[in-house]
Chains A and B, each alone.
Chain A
Amino acid sequence: MSNLDQCPSTIDKATGSTKSSIAAKDDGVKLGKVSGKKYWRSLEEYTGTQEFTEFVHREFPKGASMLGEATRRNFVKIMGAGFAIAGVAAMPGCRRPDRKILPYSKNVPEDIIPGKALYYTTALPLPGGGVEGLLIETHTGRPTKVEGNPLHPNNQGKTSAFAQASVLGLYDPERLKFPVYNNPTRGKLDATWDDFNAWQKTHFAKFDENQGEGLAFIVDKKSSPSRQRLINAIKARWTKASFTMWNPAESRGAIDGSALAFGSPRFTSYDFSSAQRVVSIGSNFMDEGPEALKNSRTFASTRKVLNSGDSMSRLYAVEAKPSGAGSLADHRYRVAPSEIHNFTIALAKAVFSHTGVNATGLPDATVTGMTPKVIAEIAKDLIDHRNHAVIVPGDDLSPECWALCMAINSSLNAMGNQVTVTPMGADLSGNANEELAALTAQLNAGRIDTLVTLYANPVYDAPGELNFPSAFARAKTTITLNDAMSETEFASTWSLNGTHYLEAWGDAAGADGSLSIIQPMIAPLYEPAHSDIELLSTLAGDEDTDGYTIVRDSWALMGNGSVGSSGFESSWKRTLHDGVKSTQDEGGIGNLSMTKVLMAAARKGANNAPGQGSMDVMFYTSNNNNGQCANNGWLQELPEFGPSVVWDNPILMSPNTAKALGVLPEHSWQDEFNPYTKQQMPQAQKITVTLNGQSMTGAAWILPGMADNTLAVKLGYGREIVGKVGYSVGHNTYAIKPSTTGMTTRGASVKKAGGTYTIASTQNHWSLEGRHSLVRAMDKVWWDKYGNETKVVKDAVYGLEHSTLNAAEMIGELSHTPPNISIYENPMNDSTGDPDPTKLHHNKALDREVPPRYTQGPQWGMSIDMNSCTGCNVCTIACQSENNIPIVGKNEVAKGREMQWIRMDRYFVGDDLNNPDEILLQPVACVHCENAPCETVCPVNATVHGDEGTNDMAYNRCIGTRYCANNCPYKVRRFNFFDYGVVKFNGGLNPNYTSVKADELFEKTVAKDRTFNQNFIPPRLRKKLDEISKMQYNPDVTVRSRGVMEKCSFCIQRIHQARQDVKIEGIWTEDDQVGPIPDGFFNVACQQACPSGAISFGDILDPESQVSKEKESGRSYLLLGYLNTRPRTTYMMRVRNPNPAIRAFEHDPMDHGSHGDHGGGHDTGHDEHNDGHESDGHGETHGAAYIDRAKQYFDQGYSMSLKVLS
């Protein structure tokens, strides 16, 4: 009983205090088990010594041994005492870190008020460099939600999915909890840090004699000034020690390219806010990279047109795999990586021909799918917008190409305007692959005595051809520090439990030179634990190895005065509060050497197009997850942009490539007459990919919009020593990653391996089915023409003015349906167009005259801008974190039971599925209809409307008839088919356990209670969610039980909190009157996180609010508005800005008469806008305006989409 409610670290401490050393435990040790097996108890529990039994008894209150003969009375007495003790131990303060951390003030005193969240700044270092400034919401000392730090120059309050999910990693119950020593004779032994310290003192002493000969370090690549200082200290102490800065997913294009162009490695920073023309060359600049969030923000700011004539940037994207940029692009070209190289050369030649740079040395290059004319037109467009045009090269490009892009930028005058470069430190610029290869050679030669690995996992993620695991085994002693289980830790002599970044002090440098301090939000859950800098400091022989001191010392050394001086203290406190100290230096222009770049590019030459026998391969990671987040269920279940696949990393290729290889995914229903005899989930074909002599078996999956003959391989899956959640999810693709090239390479061959593999995807249908009114779009030329036009719809029967249609609504179904007017006088006056606030009616319950519903503020509403949404899915995971949304696992997702409240609908539009014209994105959550179909049908009044226009769920009242979900036209309701909330599982039965070895490892390591579908076990018998995982929950939000419907609540808890705050702070003047909550006073979780600001939320009655401004725009429309559900969430039509020289403008969207190519002999002569909607002769035409039948039925691509995925 007591240890359930008690702080785990308290127990650990208590038991730990009885330990002495490893030697003392020799008697009776029957362990031989690995570390991940156990939770918080330690060795003695297993040894069963007298001591331990006594201790267990002492843990309980006096009289615990009486329980056996307990009468009811006695039992209650004992229980009461037990609870009291547990309560003391679980006092909220017990997890607070020892050192002073400063809250990011939201006008709350710096005390803990139960129920009141405190916010602290900290920072998340990104793998490979860069940092996100964060603001952490903590409840009674435990961090529950990650938000962005508004003061941080990089992300300005926004976050990535990686950051949002990191809080779940903190509470992973399978993290390492104590050091484990792998005794050569007796196997694995649980140990303590004291043991390790005693051991390391003697062990490392020998390196003082030989200057560190045979000592090697592998540390994860990130930019931490303190760590770099300590590394330098160690290098000074042991000059022969080697350091490998390891990043398994490193691209060399930008680093080597900048070294080529500017003479030394630079970090390149973009600012799109002044850009009018952008060319993205193989770059997913809004999804990945240290400044993805900043790029999203500044680029989206150029797309937010509200009125006709507003200026808007034009984006060309040349890419091999659809990215966020590609989906927003006005012109998207799918080009294989090899040929992106050629495109760069061709574009450079075209641009230089205008600017007079002599580029004759550049080879002639052709690009499949792009005519020279198109490239010339792009170049011309860029030249025409010189000073406002910018090229964004991808990091995967060859260095020569990357440098060439900078040369183009230079000649477009982008350098210094849209592009700035800052010097990159040696800790980031080193070539990780080369360093690791060198280390591997040393290991294989037997020259490494001790290998220390910090937060890196090379045994898992080293390129397959290095065969690193066997090299690793050759080191005599290996020491690994990590916060989570890893393959490297498992193989090491010493496995040390490290801290999570939310538990330890640290610092991080941003790409622009800003410095962030990482404050711990909570003392380490599994104390004692050490951070990387603490361990390095220990090894360096420092006296004081406390993280706080280390960071402060570094801070002092970075020119902030000496520790203790008043100048230092004030700057320290300032930075702790702000979370970041911005750099004063602006980025530079860089000294580009044009001739050098041109010569290098000329030497490099053009590439051949990939073919079926020699395919291009692009490795990528999703959400910065190169494998370290495998045990993080939120990231595992976050649909990947594009294929929407979860819990997997199938090898992506274009439909035509898959067809040519004969590995199209199996049809789910058309193969056989009876689908019930078939496997019910989508099945991928297994393939074997061979690259540079390394091969691996994976699953082939198609992604429309991929370049042909190109494989996209996601890294970071197929982990085996990781925990229950991530165990054996997907395939380990590092096996074929070459050790010499970066993330893009050539020459892969694919063979069918036989057999199929289950794929779970949150979206099984890829086509919009011609329903263009759902995701509306218009070319800018028409937007400029019609954007400010409105049309008044009159009801012909009653003569009433119905509503005014804006430009977006005029191209949708609302312009084609008769006005939806009730023939009854509605006392609530809420079903006609605009209720009149002055028209009072009598309310029986209140017994007074009240204005009509929804006319008094605040009235909440949301607007989603599809011109900015990049499909990054951060909103989904922010919502998941805020609202305690469970993960359901692979099997349940495959059945269509994912619980995420926000889903990202994406559609491939066009006649050819292989080469879609456009990728449309539409985030959909509950739209909070004023006339909500769900509310009328709920038999128990469990879903009802709030006075502020929110559609609310009373979970306690819900009995789960699911009628609401059936009647929801948007299908946004999520049902708890099982007890998802309180059960932890990895997706239930994973039918794809890949190897016997993996199974054995799984048995040995993490799973006695191996999880086949937990849900099929009755809940009373089921293993419940552990206490650690529960600590992540947001206490403001209910955890839903099974049998209950849930959905987006507009973050009602935040609304209530804001209302209280506003009242307390006296913003409302009248005491009893509900006044307005100022716009921006609070954010809902998705809005808060959205990097491109595509989501705005606020009071729609406040004319000054962002949301009401957006709703006023001619781009705003209602999704399925013709149903008269009157949703509060509106969508902003997408406006495309194509280059007329490349693509003709689409047909006038207002000219319905000859819309599309469905033809049908319709007479185009008359003006459709003004004819009565009663005239039945036009039924077909009206319909056709919102469903384009030609596209719906007759194109091959779509029927293939239908075949492939139900």
Chain B
Amino acid sequence: MSDIHPDQSTTHRVAGIVTGQPVARRQPVIPGSKDDGTLVEDPGLRAPLVLGDRSFSEVTDIVCSYAEAPLPKIWLAAFTVAASVAGIANVMILYLIITGVGVWGLNNQVDWAWDITNFVFWIGIGHAGTLISAILCLLKQNWRTAVNRAAEAMTIFAVICAGIFPGIHVGRAWMAWFLAPIPNSNGIWPNFRSPLLWDVFAVSTYATVSLLFWYMGMIPDVATLRDRASLRLHKGVSRGFKMPMPIGNGLALHFMPKPDQLRVFIYGVMSLGWRFSSRHWHRYEKAYLMLAGISTPLVLSVHSIVSFDFATSVIPGWHTTIFPPYFVAGAVFGGFAMVLWLLIPLRMVLPNFSDLLTLRHLENMAKIILLTGTMVGFAYAMEFFMAWYGANEYEFAVFANNRVNPAQAPYWWAYWTMIICNVGFPQVFWFRKMRQSPLVIWIVASAVTVGMWFERFVIIVTSIHRAFLPGEWHMFFPTWVDILTFVGSCGIFMTLFLLFLKFLPIFALSELKIVMPQSHTDDHH
């Protein structure tokens, strides 16, 4: 499997002389059609997962060259914007902690609003990655190889964003360590009956396992990057360090170590002594499978437990047994939407990316969007039905008067935004043309992402702003701090994702190669 012996043509690319230049396709797109050849409907034919009739080494080049190329201007621009927005989040968080939770728009009736909405939103986003990696791996869905690495990375970053909010939303953030079961002189333990504590365990477990899974899968590819950098250093073709700024980019900085020297060091540490030996591969495969096995129940448990925050309460609109499956479906739904939302633009920006992430992949994911979107829609309907059928008028009022009816519900627009985005938009995927058009998919993915944020907002705010006693009903309005904190969390997410795109292997090389036709020539052995 090791692909470390380059031929003459790739030597140049490896050496960074012709970095990232596309190799002419030997299997062009069907003439006069947008079909790249992967949308074949013949059951006898298996759609190719990697286009362009690539050799193994070419695939390696394509993937590695993204990480090895000088910082592209567009990346630098995007990174600057994202990092600035992330900086806003930091300022907002600092302001919040210094001043008090009152800088948000919360009140004594609506004690959670954007904070927990954002938490559930991000934790939901974080579901797609592990689902793709773990469940699709166990189900031997080979098409996952194109997206699993990016999706896993996205998971990690979304969980990081999610983790911020419960941490900062508490009134005394500096006392948040009370949540940890640390033996202390007060003799007080956390309350193990509280779903919030379950959250702490569930989310931290999930974050840990996802991180391990992602990182472990990356080790062979990081080792490849290390070896290529090392080779360039030996050949003496390494570039010098250049100024990584949008302005003055490319200015040589001779006193800095060469990027390849840094790569050898950093990737060397990260690859944990990976030597591509058969024994390594053997252990790797086993560990990967085990982690996939561990992750699979986590995909289901995390969002179930997050849903318990609401389901175990007594508040109408929260107190609903349908929440665990509904939340999991919603999380997968939102997570896939986010994967698509990120990867479709990348397909356009990055050369050769579309050979690895084909229309077939997009169509498959669109189908999942349609499936989970319909599940979520069904859940909305069932919730409503049960509120009516259960004959609990307090609960029915939450739906009829707090959410649906524009004449009664001040937040009706949030509810209908949710319905249109989450249930309405995905319906276009019943049409084949639609789910094969990257633009349409991207629009739907955007809508779903918005809709899923509103879903959490609707569940949280519209339920508690008017609960049992009309005497305490009160509206919630976000403040600029609310808004900027959320925007800032998007910045944190994008910053991390951009760093990942530039410096880490964004495809799982070994797995890609397994699904390439060359791997199957000697199947009979």
Q: How far is the CB of A757 from chain B (nearest CB, A)?
A: 19
- Chain B proximity of A1206: nearest CB distance (Å): 4
Q: Which of B392-436 contact A (CB under 8 A)?
A: 392-394, 396-397, 401, 407-408, 410, 413
Q: Are B313 and A1183 in contact (CB under 8 A)?
A: no
Report yes or no: A771 in contact with B470, Cβ–Cβ below 8 A. Answer: yes
- Encoded as 1 (CB less than 8 Å from any A CB) or 0, chain B from 305 to 331 comes to 000010011110000000000000000
Q: How far is the CB of B321 from chain A (nearest CB, A)?
A: 16
What B residues does A939 contact at CB under 8 A? Answer: 179, 190-191, 194, 196-197, 200
Interface of A: prevailing SS: loop
**Quick check: B413 and A962 within 8 Å, CB to CB?**
no
Taking the closest CB of chain A, its distance from the CB of B86, in whole angstroms, is 22
How far is A850 from B194 in the complex, measured between Cα atoms in Å?
Answer: 27
Minimum CB–CB distance from B250 to chain A (whole Å) comes to 43
**Contact assessment for A1183 and B392 in the assembled complex, using a CB-CB cutoff below 8 Å:** yes
Whether A769 is near chain B, meaning CB under 8 Å from some CB there, is: yes
A1043-B190 in contact (CB<8A): no
B373-393 to A contact mask, C-beta < 8 Å, 1/0: 000000000000000011111
Contact of A969 with B99 in the complex, beta carbons under 8 Å: no
**CB <8 Å contact, B100 and A978:** yes
The answer on a CB contact under 8 Å between B464 and A966 is yes
Q: Is the CB of A969 within 8 A of B100?
A: no
Q: Among residues 972 to 993 in chain A, which have CB atoms less than 8 Å away from a CB atom of chain B?
A: 973-979
Q: Are B468 and A774 in contact, CB atoms less than 8 angstroms apart? A: yes
Q: Measured between C-beta atoms, what is the minimum distance from A184 to chain B in Å?
A: 48
Tell me the bound Cα distance from A1189 to B396 in angstroms: 11
CB distance from A678 to the nearest CB of B (A): 9
Does A768 interact with chain B (Cβ within 8 Å)?
yes
Q: Is B131 an interface residue (CB 8 A)?
A: no
The reply on B456 being an interface residue by CB < 8 A is no
Q: Are A961 and B170 in contact (CB under 8 A)?
A: yes
Instruction: Give CA–CA (A771, B408) in the complex, Å.
Output: 16
Q: Across the interface, do B393 and A896 meet the contact criterion of CB distance under 8 Å?
A: no
For the complex, what is the distance from the CA of A65 to the CA of B377, rounded to whole Å?
A: 76
Q: How far is the CB of B61 from chain A (nearest CB, A)?
A: 50
Of A774, A938, A961, A1015, chain B has the most CB atoms within 10 Å of the CB of: A961
B301 to chain A, nearest CB (A): 18
Bound form: Cα–Cα A966–B112 in Å: 7
Q: Which of B20-28, B50-58, B138-146, B471-479 contacts A (4 or more CB under 8 A)?
A: B471-479
Interface majority SS (helix, strand, loop, mixed), chain B: loop
How does the 8 Å CB contact mask read for B172-198 relative to A, with 1 for contact and 0 for none?
Answer: 110110110000001011110111110
Assembly CA distance A979 to B109 (angstroms): 19
Q: Is there contact, CB below 8 Å, between A675 and B410? A: yes
Most buried by B among A680, A959, A1041, A1186: A959
Q: Which residues of A lie under 8 Å from residue B475 when comparing CB positions?
A: 668-669, 675, 680, 764, 896, 1206
Q: Are B313 and A905 in contact (CB under 8 A)?
A: no
Are A1123 and B470 touching (Cβ within 8 A)?
A: no
A903–B472 CB distance below 8 A: yes
Known: A669-B410, A959-B176. A976 touches B473 (CB 8 A): no
Q: Is the CB of A774 within 8 A of B469?
A: yes
B313 touches A937 (CB 8 A): yes
List the B side residues contacting A1187 at CB < 8 Å.
Answer: 393-394, 397
Given the known inter-chain contacts A896-B109, A961-B170, A1018-B99, please indicate yes or no for A769 contacting B314, CB distance below 8 A. no
Please tell me if the beta carbons of B194 and A1182 are within 8 angstroms of each other in the complex.
Answer: no
Question: Are B391 and A767 within 8 A (Cβ)?
Answer: no
Are the C-beta atoms of B477 and A680 separated by less than 8 Å? yes
Contact with B along A953-970 (1 / 0, CB 8 A): 000011111110111011
Q: Is the CB of B470 within 8 A of A940?
A: no
Residue interface bits A998-1038, CB-to-B below 8 A is 1, else 0: 00000000000000000111111000000000000000000
A339-395: which have CB < 8 Å to B?
A: none
- Residues of A within 8 Å of B408, CB to CB, are 1199, 1202
Given A940-B191, A961-B196, A1043-B100: A898 and B108 within 8 A (CB)? Answer: yes
Contact B196 A896, beta carbon cutoff 8 Å = no
A962: chain B residues within 8 A (beta carbon): 106, 111-112, 169-171
CB contact under 8 A between A1016 and B389, given known A768-B470, A907-B470, A1183-B396:
no
- Nearest A residue to B396, CB-CB: A1183
Q: Are A940 and B314 in contact (CB under 8 A)?
A: no
CA of A763 to CA of B474 in the docked complex: distance in angstroms? 8
Interface centre among A897, A967, A1042, A1119 (most CB of B within 10 A): A967
Decide yes or no whether B517 CB sits under 8 A from chain A: no
Asked, given contacts A939-B197, A959-B172, whether A896 binds B191 with beta carbons under 8 Å apart, the answer is: no
B515 at interface, CB cutoff 8 A: no
Interface residues of A in 757-792 (CB under 8 A from B): 763-765, 767-769, 771, 774
Query: Contacting A959 at CB < 8 Å: which of B98, B175, B468?
Result: B175
How long is the Cα–Cα vector from A763 to B469 in the complex, in angstroms? 11
Could you tell me which residues of chain B, from 425 to 471, have a CB within 8 Å of some CB in chain A?
464, 466-471
Find out whether the CB atom of B108 lies under 8 angstroms from the CB atom of A936: no
Q: A924 within 8 Å of B by Cβ?
A: yes
Is A1018 touching B107 in the complex (CB atoms < 8 A)? no
Q: Determine whether the beta carbon of B101 is less than 8 Å from that of A970.
A: no
Q: Distance in Å from the Cβ of B311 to the closest Cβ of chain A?
A: 12
In the complex, A975 Cα to B107 Cα: how many Å?
8
Question: Is the beta-carbon distance between B478 and A676 smaller than 8 angstroms?
Answer: yes
Distance in Å: Cβ of A913 to nearest Cβ of chain B: 14
Contact A896–B100 (Cβ < 8 Å): no
* Interface contact B100-A765, CB-CB below 8 Å: no
The CA-CA distance from A41 to B179 in the complex, in Å, is 48
CA distance A300 to B103 in the complex (A): 45
The answer to whether the Cβ of B273 comes within 8 Å of any Cβ in the partner chain is no
CB-based nearest A residue for B465? A1206
> A824 on the interface (CB 8 Å rule)?
no
Set of chain A residues within 8 Å of B6, measured between Cβ atoms:
none
Among B102, B105, B475: residue with most chain A CB under 10 A? B102
The 7 closest A-B pairs by CB, nearest first: A960-B171, A1043-B171, A905-B471, A977-B102, A896-B107, A1179-B391, A962-B111
A-B contact pairs, 5 of them (CB 8 A): A668-B475, A937-B196, A937-B312, A940-B178, A967-B313
A residues with a Cβ closer than 8 A to B are 668-670, 673-676, 680, 763-765, 767-769, 771, 774, 892, 895-898, 903, 905-907, 922, 924, 933, 935-941, 957-963, 965-967, 969-971, 973-979, 1015-1020, 1041-1045, 1119-1120, 1123, 1125, 1179-1180, 1182-1184, 1186-1187, 1189, 1192, 1199, 1202, 1206
Given contacts A977-B171, A1192-B397, 11 further A-B contacts (CB under 8 A): A765-B473, A892-B102, A905-B471, A905-B472, A907-B471, A935-B191, A937-B312, A958-B172, A977-B106, A1041-B172, A1206-B473
Residue numbers of B with Cβ under 8 A of A are 98-103, 105-112, 166, 169-173, 175-176, 178-179, 186, 188-191, 193-197, 200, 309, 312-315, 389-394, 396-397, 401, 407-408, 410, 413, 464, 466-475, 477-478
